[in-house]
């Protein structure tokens, strides 16, 4: 006797929707903070029923519907914690540095700016105020200070503070001392050679930054009387010639002259210390809050739409809800993974690389009840800002080589600079401490830590001895 399948006719629709959701989440999950923001902007342009939920600006409180506040220019990507400096800059003018002093790699951004200011600024009052302002730079290199208040604090007229600010903004890296994203980009563009691309890029930043933040490229092109391709070319020019955070390069450790990709990356997750422990936050979540526009709901509830139009709007609403759910699940999974990592790396966060206990994807997946591939998609290519301000890839927490690389660094730091340890000698030291590593592996780890070879370190020590 033939058995008929009597499952409800609704089941395939439910299964199809579940499959659509899974596929949408899998497409969204790997996206970084910048990529998901761009994807949201694209969806907002393509789906008219979607609306971004306004959120207050982190700087001035003004409602922000895009990525950049139209009132103060604050970026939703800019609310990261202050990077602690190793020591405060000297605020009193004294001996000017020599050319050799400036040629040396600076310990940090603050030393670098101090050295430039002491050479460039002749007026002792302006120098004192400029050094004072350096102390109010945030991790991005932006000035987090009210000029009128600082003028009163240091006891000088407002005009002298403005002069000090101009001196600070004339320093390298270009864009340092800016107070908004707009000012930062303009400071950099003004140093570039004049060209049609630069002029268009400057016009975009000067007058249309908020519209660009909402992805309204076609509208901006029409306002400027240019083709949209020209706007895209100018945006590429901006990405290639400017950086939104001028201080990022100075998070690199000295010794290699090159900046690793993570040191110029936008973090996806921020870890901060609180009295209750460590806190995990996703970057720019306010810009990812979407909804179906209230007017669309009203239109569907009423009877003013023709049947064909109603069905078209309903299809757009289904698409919008699917996208909103995919973004929500992406954020939830990234947050759960980050929260688990932080909970199991307290010793590393407290004590540094020597205390890292590398995790595995399988370990995280099992704890969260998901597949390894889901954890991999959630974390691969993502970056995290550590409590002290460094930006590192999530892979750091899974890197079994990090503790030994830290030990190599410690051995090099305590070596006799006149007789630096060769890679063979480092391998013997590590072997005695229980690290079973071949010399070529030590070489690889030393290069990963951006430590020069023994020959280069000996040459540098000889040069220092000759100078002194």
Q: What is the pLDDT of residues 92-130, one digit of tens each?
A: 444 444 333 333 334 467 777 887 888 778 888 888 888
Q: How many residues does the chain have?
A: 468
CA 105 and chain centroid, separation: 23
pLDDT band at 75 (very low <50, low <70, confident <90, very high): low
For 19-63, write each residue's pLDDT tens digit: 777 788 788 899 888 888 888 888 888 888 888 887 766 666 666
- pLDDT tens readout for residues 314-346: 888 889 899 999 999 999 999 999 999 999 999
DSSP SS3 for 272:
strand
Decide: helix, strand or coil at residue 269.
strand
Whether the Cβ atoms of residue 75 and residue 184 lie closer than 8 Å to each other: no
As a whole number of angstroms, the distance between CA 413 and CA 36 comes to 41
- 237: pLDDT confidence band, cut at 50, 70 and 90? confident
Measured from the Cβ of residue 288, the count of other Cβ atoms closer than 10 Å reads 22
Residues 6+ apart with CB under 8 A from 270: 80, 81, 280, 281, 282, 283, 384, 385
Highest-confidence range of 103-107, 203-207, 208-212, 332-336, by mean pLDDT?
332-336
For residue 45, give the nearest of 296, 320, 300, 318 by alpha carbon: 320
User: Beta strands 269-274 and 383-385: pairing type?
Assistant: parallel
Tokens for 231, please give them.
Answer: 């706007």
Q: Which CATH class is domain 402-467?
A: mainly alpha
Question: Strand (E) positions, 342-390?
Answer: 383-385
Using pLDDT thresholds of 50, 70 and 90, give the confidence band for residue 68: low
Instruction: Give me the residue spans of the domains in the chain.
Output: 14-66+267-400, 181-245, 402-467
Model confidence band, residue 259 (pLDDT cutoffs 50, 70, 90): very low
Specify the pLDDT at position 272: 92
pLDDT digits (tens, 9 = 90+) for 360-413: 999 999 999 999 999 999 998 888 988 888 788 888 898 878 788 888 888 988
pTM score: 0.53
How many CB atoms sit inside 10 A of residue 452's CB?
16
Residue 91 has pLDDT above 50, yes or no: no
At 69, the pLDDT band (50, 70, 90 cuts) reads low
Q: H helices of 68-180, where?
A: 99-103, 109-120, 124-134, 147-154, 158-169
């Amino acid at each position: 006797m033939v058995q008929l399948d009597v499952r409800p006719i609704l089941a395939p629709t439910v299964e199809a929707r579940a499959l659509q959701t899974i596929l949408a989440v899998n497409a969204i999950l790997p996206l970084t903070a910048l990529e998901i923001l761009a994807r949201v902007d694209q969806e907002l342009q393509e789906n008219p029923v979607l609306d971004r939920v306004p959120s207050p600006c982190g700087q001035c409180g003004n409602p922000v519907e895009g990525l950049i506040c139209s009132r103060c220019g604050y970026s939703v990507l800019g609310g990261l914690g202050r990077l602690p400096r190793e020591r405060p800059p000297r605020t009193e003018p004294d001996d000017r540095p020599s050319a050799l002093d400036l040629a040396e790699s600076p310990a940090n951004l603050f030393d670098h700016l101090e050295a430039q200011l002491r050479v460039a600024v002749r007026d002792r009052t302006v120098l004192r105020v400029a050094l004072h302002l350096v102390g109010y730079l945030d991790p991005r290199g932006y000035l987090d200070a009210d000029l009128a208040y600082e003028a009163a604090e240091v006891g000088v007229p407002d005009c002298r503070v403005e002069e000090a600010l101009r001196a600070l903004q004339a320093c390298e890296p270009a864009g340092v001392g800016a107070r908004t994203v707009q000012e930062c980009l303009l400071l950099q563009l003004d140093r570039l050679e004049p060209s049609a691309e630069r002029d268009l890029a400057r016009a975009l930043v000067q007058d249309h930054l908020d519209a660009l933040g909402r992805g309204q490229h076609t509208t901006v092109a029409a306002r400027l009387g240019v083709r949209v391709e020209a706007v895209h070319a100018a945006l590429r020019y901006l990405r290639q010639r400017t950086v939104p955070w001028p201080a990022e390069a100075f998070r690199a450790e000295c010794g290699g002259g090159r900046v690793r990709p993570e040191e110029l990356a936008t973090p996806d997750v921020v870890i901060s210390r609180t009295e209750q422990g460590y806190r995990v936050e996703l970057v720019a979540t306010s810009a990812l809050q979407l909804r179906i526009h209230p007017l669309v709901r009203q239109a569907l509830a009423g009877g003013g739409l023709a049947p064909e139009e109603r069905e078209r709007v309903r299809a757009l609403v289904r698409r919008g809800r699917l996208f909103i759910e995919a973004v929500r699940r992406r954020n939830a999974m990234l947050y759960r993974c980050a929260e688990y990592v932080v909970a199991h790396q307290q010793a590393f966060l407290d004590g540094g690389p020597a205390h890292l206990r590398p995790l595995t994807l399988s370990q995280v997946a099992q704890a969260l009840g998901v597949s390894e591939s889901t954890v991999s998609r959630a974390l691969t290519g993502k970056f995290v800002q550590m409590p002290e301000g460094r930006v590192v890839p999530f892979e750091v927490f899974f890197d079994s080589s990090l503790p030994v690389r830290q030990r190599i660094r410690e051995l090099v730091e305590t070596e006799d600079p006149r007789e630096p340890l060769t890679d063979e000698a480092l391998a013997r030291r590590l072997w005695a401490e229980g690290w079973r590593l071949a010399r070529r592996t030590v070489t690889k780890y030393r290069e990963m830590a951006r430590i020069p070879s023994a020959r280069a370190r000996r040459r540098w020590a000889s040069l220092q001895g000759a100078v002194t």
